[in-house]
């Protein structure tokens, strides 16, 4: 069965760049039926979509984060990655990666999700 695993530093200093990688196992990231996404959840708060990527490299970003976000894909490693620049304490959150199933334009859902990784922004 498909599994996703986030990896990266758990502590990032303010103003620096947060970098995370999601490794996909049990399936190919190059599947034509799916996008891949990043979602975050600040402690005790709700879910926030960060952005999504297709295996070809096509991306969609949350407008509120777009100026600081870069999502990329490495099909040879079956991985996709997140970079979030100029971080502040407000970026402290559990970061999830997930597969995004697309049935049609405007019709997609995340399944499954990785276990999530807590990233704390602090000096």
Q: Which is nearer to other proteins, 13 or 109 (CB)?
A: 109
Cβ pair 78, 25 in contact under 8 A: yes
User: Based on CB atoms, which residue is closest to other proteins, 55 or 96?
Assistant: 96
Closer Cβ to other proteins, 39 or 119, answer by number: 39
What residues line the site for other proteins (CB under 8 A)? Answer: 37, 39, 46-49, 52, 60, 62-64, 96, 101, 103, 106-116
Q: Which is nearer to other proteins, 12 or 98 (CB)?
A: 98
69-78 contact pairs (CB < 8 A, 24+): 71/38, 73/29, 73/36, 75/29, 75/30, 77/23, 78/23, 78/24, 78/25, 78/28, 78/29
CB of 29 to other proteins, least distance (A): 19
C-beta of residue 82 within 8 angstroms of C-beta of residue 71: yes
């Amino acid at each position: 069965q498909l599994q996703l695993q986030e990896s990266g530093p758990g502590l990032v200093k303010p103003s620096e760049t947060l970098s995370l990688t999601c490794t996909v196992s049990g399936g190919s990231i190059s599947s034509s039926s799916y996008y891949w996404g990043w979602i975050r959840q600040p402690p005790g708060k709700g879910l926030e979509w960060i952005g999504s990527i297709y295996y070809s490299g096509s991306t969609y970003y949350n407008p509120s984060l777009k100026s600081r976000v870069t999502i990329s894909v490495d099909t040879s490693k079956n991985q996709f990655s997140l970079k979030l620049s100029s971080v502040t304490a407000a970026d402290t959150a559990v970061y999830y990666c997930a597969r995004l199933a697309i049935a049609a334009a405007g019709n997609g859902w995340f399944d499954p999700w990785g276990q999530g990784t807590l990233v704390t922004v602090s000096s």
